[in-house]
Structure 1
Amino acid sequence: MKIKDIKVFVCCPGRNFVTVKIITDHGVFGLGDATLNGRELAVVAYLEEHVIPCLIGRDAHQIEDIWQYLFKGAYWQNGAVSMAAIGAIDMALWDVKGKVANLPVYQLLGGKSRRGITVYAHVNGESIEDVLNHLGKAIKEGYKVVRLQCTIPGTEGTYGTLGGKKNYYELQGNRPLPPEHPWSTNQYLNFIPELFKRAREKFGYDIELCHDIHSRLTPIEAAQLGKMLEPYRLKFLEDAVTYDNPEGYKVIRNHTTTPVALGEKFNTIWDAKPLIENQYIDFVRTAATHGGGITSLKKLADFASLYHVRLAPHGAPDLSPICFMAHMHVDLWAPNFGVQEFIGFGTPELNDVFSFSAKFKDGEIYIKDKPGLGVDFNEEAAKQYPYKRSYLPVTRLNDGTLWNW
């Protein structure tokens, strides 16, 4: 079965998405997500100019060989742009293989390891009272794991707390340039422990809680925060510091028993390797789209399992439902799955373009046994939502120094 054609679609049903469609000479097609938030068209150019011409006529069943060809064969390996392109091709090929086999992808990976996929919700607010109110609602909805973020008093919004306003197009107004956020580490460290203290006092310890630092701290600052949060038994602290220096996580590990999650910016297993084999992290958060697809994620899961590290794949709103469904299949299979980030089933606009069958019940996601990934893409509907150039925000300290967003 040969690859006959590969199409790339860019649309913006609320957010920009890059969708890859592989069509075979047997008429079977597969879908992949190539979205790279803020750099979408760079991936499109890489696909159209460098990847697609090399794949026409190749055997669509040779997923591993095609992955190696696109990775090793490019010489200039790694990087977010190239790995998003590889990830989309890989997802689409798994989708094709599942459809031909008439099996859901998780069966091709080895079958189910669990009945459903535990997910965590995002709960945020402009004050602690606001956050606790939303947390109570999430618990009533059935969530067993929740991520808490709160605006720091005296600041103009904080990462993860913009709620319905967290629309980069709205934030950018008439100037499509990166919005800028202020940041004070001292104010943050003085405030966040109180958020979790109040959450535990009101809701107890049965609900599991997480928090995303978004790489805003230095290693010793993150260690201090982890130590302060130990009494509140978090499931994990996410992205405590940047990952470029793994030794930073050694500092954190040596000072606190609060579990650590990292990896949404990882592109390959080699990014994660020193952090996993030294057991500096407890959860690895690599996404199928940004980490080279299902083939990569399966290898990462197997490697992580040797060191008691569990999967918690990135599930931000800038990953399309195709990536979401890819995660559902990997999460169902992976024996060392931990928890899946979940931001809901999307807006009417998003669901106008992408269709899939999944339901939420008692803190878990369940999918129907459909061949392949179980997701479809409406090309005509996508035309109604043209691409809009956009950027992720940037952060500056109070003195104007550029910081990590």
Structure 2
Amino acid sequence: MSRIVNYELFEVPPRWLFLRVETDDGTVGWGEPIVEGRARTVRTAVEELMDNYLLGADPSRIEDHWQTMYRGGFYRGGPVLMSAIAGIDQALWDIKGKQLETPVYELLGGASRDRIRVYQWIGGDRPSDVADEARTKVDAGFSALKMNATGKIERVDDPETIDTAVDRLRKVREAVGDGVDVGVDFHGRVSKPMAKKLAKALEPYEPMFIEEPVLPEHNDALPAIASHTTVPIATGERMYSRWDFKEVFEQGVVDVIQPDLSHAGGITEVKKIAAMAEAYDVALAPHCPLGPIALASCIQVTTCSPNTLIQEQSLNIHYNESSDVLDYLAEPTVFEYDEGYVRVPDAPGLGIDVNEEYVREQAEKTVDWHNPVWRHEDGSVAEW
């Protein structure tokens, strides 16, 4: 029986936090515990969990460790704690797979597919030039894209704002045709009245889904929004446990869930969320605008989940200006995309070989990423 003897945390560009966990037999597991813009806060949470519960422990007892980290504190849930748990959980699964010399998905029931479809972001935070960018991505082999619906938007905005959003999607649809899927992300920045109008207005151009039409705290509004459109509704990137997802499953109006493997409790929890979704005929499309360890963790779950629809990935996303996903891998071909798909990996653990030397080099840099604060014309804070 091995024991956990050491851990290290590395804050690296563009906005990621990596966790390295080592056992006494020399096995190293990697995780990605991060809340974008709150790296230092999550670092402290990881340190508390590792120091209090994991150091000296047998790494193989993953379910017990998950329950201890979650239930061991009187206060539980939320983005910081669940992201800290997620990164640790990823590293424990990486260790287990490496020690047993098998991919994690084999330990979760085995593959249910040979490859996983991915989508590519276009357009940036304030979407622009989307048609030309869409053509470029489709020419590169992608058959699915995603774009933000709007930039900054008022609680009740003018008709021109709706028309502009519709015109953007229309141009993308005309550029790539009907054989390409286009997800439209409302990003939680759209209020309930505008979400109803926008969902209805976008429908003629057949989005693959509308994502996070309202913030999770307003999920009670999803049935009303769904009544205005036949477009599939997706949500879940800011929901952190199976208990958070329970309400939307019971509502019966969400068609695609998007838990984040670095926010929603890691592999252990998202596999359970995916199984719950399957029971409600809801598809799985994990959120992942993050780094290679998060993506590798997603792929382990999407590989073995029969209700997987598609996988987000962040290669060349607008956040990755200083470093990108493949930079941190010793063997980047593991994430080669062929006709818009990524192959199921066969290497042990998470299936990736982290370039530790490069991680340590990048961790010497100052990283202080925070999302922008947007304001309306009257000076009040807008949703980003």
Whichever residue aligns with residue 396 of structure 1, its letter is R
What pairs with 1:323-334 in structure 2 (closer than 5 Å)?
323-334=294-305
- Displaced runs of 4+ in structure 1, greater than 6 A? 125-129, 345-349
TM-score by length of 1: 0.86
Q: Take 2:127 and 2:27, find their aligned partners in 1: how far apart are those partners?
A: 51
In the TM superposition, residue 46 of structure 1 has moved relative to its aligned partner by 1.6
Partner of 2:371: 392
311, 326, 331: which one aligns with 1:340? 311
Partner of 1:371: 348
Deviations, residues 258-294 of structure 1 (Å, cap 9, x unaligned): 1111111111111111112212211111111100100
275, 299, 305: which one aligns with 1:302? 275
Are 1:38 and 1:390, in contact at CA under 8 Å, matched by a contact in 2? yes
Structure having the higher strand fraction is 1
Change beyond 3 A, Cα 1:27–1:49? same
1:260 partnered with 2:233: yes
What pairs with 1:54-203 in structure 2 (closer than 5 Å)?
54-124=53-123, 130-149=129-148, 158=151, 183-184=153-154, 185-186=157-158, 187-203=160-176
Partner of 1:22: 21
Partner of 2:328: 353
Partner of 2:7: 7
Deviations, residues 269-327 of structure 1 (Å, cap 9, x unaligned): 111111122122111111111001000010000000111111111121xx221111001
1:292 partnered with 2:265: yes
Are 1:261 and 1:283, in contact at CA under 8 Å, matched by a contact in 2? yes
In the TM superposition, residue 71 of structure 1 has moved relative to its aligned partner by 0.2
Q: State the Cα RMSD in Å.
A: 2.2
Change beyond 3 A, Cα 1:343–1:4? closer
Partner of 2:183: 210
Using the TM superposition, name which of 190-199 and 289-298 deviates more: 190-199
Are 2:138 and 2:176, in contact at CA under 8 Å, matched by a contact in 1? no
Whichever residue aligns with residue 105 of structure 2, its letter is Y
Whichever residue aligns with residue 331 of structure 1, its letter is T
In the TM superposition, residue 388 of structure 1 has moved relative to its aligned partner by 2.0
Q: Take 2:325 and 2:294, find their aligned partners in 1: how far apart are those partners?
A: 14
Partner of 1:179: none
Deviations, residues 63-108 of structure 1 (Å, cap 9, x unaligned): 1010000001111100111111110111111111111221111111
Are 2:135 and 2:175, in contact at CA under 8 Å, matched by a contact in 1? no
Runs of at least 5 residues in structure 1 that lack an aligned partner in the other structure:
153-157, 159-181
In the TM superposition, residue 8 of structure 1 has moved relative to its aligned partner by 2.5
In the TM superposition, residue 125 of structure 1 has moved relative to its aligned partner by 7.0
Are 1:31 and 1:92, in contact at CA under 8 Å, matched by a contact in 2? yes
In the TM superposition, residue 34 of structure 1 has moved relative to its aligned partner by 0.8
In the TM superposition, residue 127 of structure 1 has moved relative to its aligned partner by 10
Whichever residue aligns with residue 359 of structure 2, its letter is A
Deviations, residues 2-21 of structure 1 (Å, cap 9, x unaligned): 33323122232x31322222
Deviations, residues 214-273 of structure 1 (Å, cap 9, x unaligned): 112222321211111221111101111111132111111122111111111111111111
Deviations, residues 127-168 of structure 1 (Å, cap 9, x unaligned): 998321111111111111111347x7xxxxx3xxxxxxxxxx
Q: Take 1:15 and 1:126, find their aligned partners in 2: how far apart are those partners?
A: 16
Q: Take 2:40 and 2:329, find their aligned partners in 1: how far apart are those partners?
A: 20
Partner of 1:177: none
Q: Take 1:58 and 1:40, find their aligned partners in 2: how far apart are those partners?
A: 25
Instruction: Count matched residues.
Output: 373
Change beyond 3 A, Cα 1:205–1:351? closer
Q: Secondary structure in 1 aligned to 2:330? A: strand
Q: Take 1:336 and 1:50, find their aligned partners in 2: how far apart are those partners?
A: 32
Q: Take 1:307 and 1:126, find their aligned partners in 2: how far apart are those partners?
A: 32
Q: Secondary structure in 1 aligned to 2:231? A: coil
In the TM superposition, residue 354 of structure 1 has moved relative to its aligned partner by 3.4
Partner of 1:155: none
In the TM superposition, residue 361 of structure 1 has moved relative to its aligned partner by 0.4
Whichever residue aligns with residue 232 of structure 1, its letter is Y
Q: Take 1:354 and 1:9, find their aligned partners in 2: how far apart are those partners?
A: 17
Using the TM superposition, name which of 121-130 and 331-340 deviates more: 121-130
In the TM superposition, residue 23 of structure 1 has moved relative to its aligned partner by 1.5
Partner of 1:269: 242
1:249 partnered with 2:249: no
Runs of at least 5 residues in structure 2 that lack an aligned partner in the other structure:
none
Q: Secondary structure in 2 aligned to 1:200? A: helix
1:38 partnered with 2:37: yes
Using the TM superposition, name which of 321-330 and 379-388 deviates more: 379-388
In the TM superposition, residue 39 of structure 1 has moved relative to its aligned partner by 0.9
